[in-house]
Structure 1
Amino acid sequence: MSKRPLAPWLLILPSFALALFIVSYPFFNIVWQSVHEVSRFGQVRDFSGLANFATIFADPVFMTTLWRTLVWTVCVVGGTVLVAVPASLILVQDFYGRGLARTITMLPWSISLTMTAIIWRWAFNDEFGLINLGLQQVGIINQPLHWLADPVLAFPVEIMIGILVSVPFTVTIFLGGLSSVPTDIYEAARMEGANAWQQFRKLTLPLLRPFINIAIVLNVIYVFNSFPIIWVMTQGGPDNGTHILVTYLYELAFRLGRPGEAAAVSLVMLVMLLAFTGIYMRMQGGEHAEQ
């Protein structure tokens, strides 16, 4: 029995050790803070056990924020997939100006989320925002709406912007998947009399499913932790009406001076993401096994 060479392992060992340190040190530091009393300046004090977790779960703002985070994630990720699939089906076709159309689709991806949120905050301004001015000029509204002053309006607006900034990345994934689909199967399907909807349902969607799975998992992780849009536009307000967990965590740590509770929130977020990823991948594995 031949021995495996150790040289490859020795070559990757420094990089692996560095990556392990970069990932593990913040994690263990957060766990340590979550079970201790921590001053607003980060000084770790007495051991408190699960007191920080009990405090956040007793906070009605946290429970409301937890539910709102789920709504935010489902709506943004679901809306992104629903928009990105037809957009990628159009952009994969060979037509005049396709390069320009792809460039326009990718433009939101080239701008930072913070700058995008600032631009949209100006657009939805009560007094001089382009949205109110445009709607008034076409006669849809008679007076300016307070878009960002009312959580009933502000949160759907932020969901819309979240979809907008997530579409380019998702379209890129789908275009990669569609480009690998052979065109022969569509020609054969047309010869058999399949219409466009049947081709999409029986051919395109099954072949695109692995890429949809990748897009959903990556977008959930990305959207669940998305901070700039909500914080720049409303900072979780008004009256905590647009907070998601990541903005609630930031407010706990840096505004209210409760880093121990913020650490507990971050661990809850980590558990939720791991649970979703595990459940979703298990569901997909079960579907493949049945097929």
Structure 2
Amino acid sequence: MIFPGLLLALFIIGYPVLDLANTSLQEVSRFGQLRGFTGFDNFAEVFADPLFWESLYRTAIWTVTVVGGTLIISLPIAIILNDDFYGRGVARVIIMLPWAISLTMTAVVWRWALNGRAGLLNATLMDMGVLAEPIEWLAEAQLAFTVEIMVGILVSIPFTTTIFLGGLSSLPQDSYEASMVDGATRWDQFRHITLPMMKPFINIAIVLNVIYVFNSLPIIWVMTEGGPANGTDILVTYLYKLAFRFGQLGKASAISLIMFGVLLIFTIIYVALVMRGENDSDAGKDE
């Protein structure tokens, strides 16, 4: 019964990948017309481009910091929202509301708020006496990229918190009751009960967030379009520029295929490591 759905999923995923692979090996006009087989010339041009390696390095920083920051912040939030307190339902709604808003619209709002001349952030900080003069948050590459990472963490929290809340609600309560009888503190419960039992959900959150963040275009594109001077470009914005601004569809297809390969390799390696760790843990328990 699963086979028809699996076959359809393989077709939906497989056909675009095969078509992308074919395009990456062709000379392509800016209108998408295939002009002839060129072999791996597009890949050679991509690997010879310094902007590709800079974007790849920046993509690694972007993915690791956004995913890591999201996990560190989301787990405590989920633990707090999992407790029974007055107004918990309202608090959950407030946390989840940003998830219902378009990521592009969120990025537009942040771009307005971070405007160097009339932005809300500068106005607020100056009214509070924190700043003496406005700051051009998005005019310098390093500062702009740092701000975009913070926005990326903020918009990723609702989804990750939802995953963790689902995991926390499924944990058996008898373990906590037994630990309280033995005099365990909340920190002891977190270290020895919550964290180990939440590992499957943490692993799910890591894989899904890495895939989501690695391919995320709207925040960086809307806020800076990869600028200034390509200083905030990640692979997906670099690819977008090549394809739709410069019409280099062959190179863009090659980068898309490289990104697909990177994510596939990461997922396979991570899942293999997680499964091996679980098997080693089960073997240790049996001994």
TM over 0.5: yes
Counterpart CA distance in 2 for 1:93 and 1:140 is 36
- From 26, 51, 56, the counterpart of 2:16: 26
Equivalent in the alignment of 1:92: 82
Equivalent in the alignment of 1:247: 237
1:136 Cα deviation from its structure 2 partner: 1.2
Counterpart CA distance in 2 for 1:101 and 1:38 is 52
- From 109, 113, 118, the counterpart of 1:123: 113
1:16 Cα deviation from its structure 2 partner: 4.9
The C-alpha deviation readout for 1:31-65, integer Å capped at 9, x for no partner, is 11111111111111121111111101111111000
Counterpart CA distance in 1 for 2:137 and 2:121 is 9
Equivalent in the alignment of 2:45: 55
Equivalent in the alignment of 2:143: 153
1:20 Cα deviation from its structure 2 partner: 3.5
Counterpart CA distance in 2 for 1:94 and 1:103 is 15
1:220 aligns with 2:213: no
SS of the residue 1:100 aligns to:
helix
Equivalent in the alignment of 2:68: 78
Equivalent in the alignment of 2:179: 189
SS of the residue 1:147 aligns to:
coil
1:236 Cα deviation from its structure 2 partner: 0.5
Cα distance, 1:138–1:57 mapped onto 2, change above 3 Å: same
What letter corresponds to residue 202 of structure 1 in structure 2?
H
What letter corresponds to residue 178 of structure 2 in structure 1?
A
The C-alpha deviation readout for 1:249-274, integer Å capped at 9, x for no partner, is 11000001100000000011011101
What letter corresponds to residue 30 of structure 1 in structure 2?
L
1:22 Cα deviation from its structure 2 partner: 2.4
- From 193, 197, 206, the counterpart of 1:207: 197
Equivalent in the alignment of 2:224: 234
Equivalent in the alignment of 1:3: none
SS of the residue 1:37 aligns to:
strand
> Percent of counterpart pairs with the same letter?
59
Counterpart CA distance in 2 for 1:17 and 1:270 is 20
1:75 Cα deviation from its structure 2 partner: 0.5
What letter corresponds to residue 152 of structure 2 in structure 1?
G
Counterpart CA distance in 2 for 1:23 and 1:215 is 22
SS of the residue 1:175 aligns to:
helix
Q: TM-score w.r.t. structure 1 length?
A: 0.94
1:18 Cα deviation from its structure 2 partner: 4.1
Q: TM-score w.r.t. structure 2 length?
A: 0.95
Counterpart CA distance in 2 for 1:149 and 1:25 is 41
